[in-house]
Homo-oligomer: A and B are copies of this chain.
Amino acid sequence: MKKIAVDMDGVLANVYELYHQFHERDFGKRKLPEEIMGIPEGEAFPTIRQFIYETGFFLNVPVIEGSQEVMRKLNQQYELYIVSAATEFPKSLPEKQTWLGQHFPFISWQQMVFCGSKKVIKADIMIDDHFKNLDYFEGQTLLFTQPHNCRNNDHQHTRVDSWSAIEKLLL
């Protein structure tokens, strides 16, 4: 059975929606899409690290559209692992695990990996929104479109714009 390593933030978890909400709470207005296109998350939302350190941040992230249904199907045909770069924010670890349990109850603790770097991850396919993770990976790479990566027309990775695109590719 082929192994898939699925990223969490920006692939399963809609962190951008929460960045927008926190930004609006703190600055009174929402950023326009064109203001954040092609810009690293930390530059688009300069107070992002402060949001991320808030207790409960990761518990409240909305789920990315379509991810639950497609993940449920993938889980039957692949050895599925959630691989999240999370040790930079130690408090986020139990929150992320709780969030996964709530929204992806078919994913067991055996299928979760919380790490700092993804250079030690071995699988056949990696789905991620960050080049820094995909570039080191030795298997098939799917780049999940997010504002920060949308202007980089790299052709080393297969770009996917939605979970239905992943479904078409892998199921």
A152 at the interface (CB under 8 A from B): no
Q: How large is the interface on A (under 10, 10 to 19, 20 to 34, 35 or more residues)?
A: 20 to 34
Task: Specify which of B87, B93, B117, B121 is in contact with A121 (CB 8 Å cutoff).
Answer: B121
Tell me if A110 and B117 are in contact (CB < 8 A).
Answer: yes
Q: Which of A3, A108, A111, A122 has the most CB of B within 10 A?
A: A122
CB distance from A22 to the nearest CB of B (A): 23
Within 8 A of B (CB), among A1-39: 3, 5
Using A90-B93, A120-B123 as known contacts, list a sample of 7 further A-B pairs with CB atoms less than 8 Å apart, ordered by residue number in A. A79-B119, A90-B94, A90-B97, A90-B109, A93-B93, A93-B97, A114-B114
A contact residues vs B (CB 8 Å cutoff): 3, 5, 79, 81, 83, 87-88, 90-91, 93-94, 97-98, 108-117, 119-123, 138
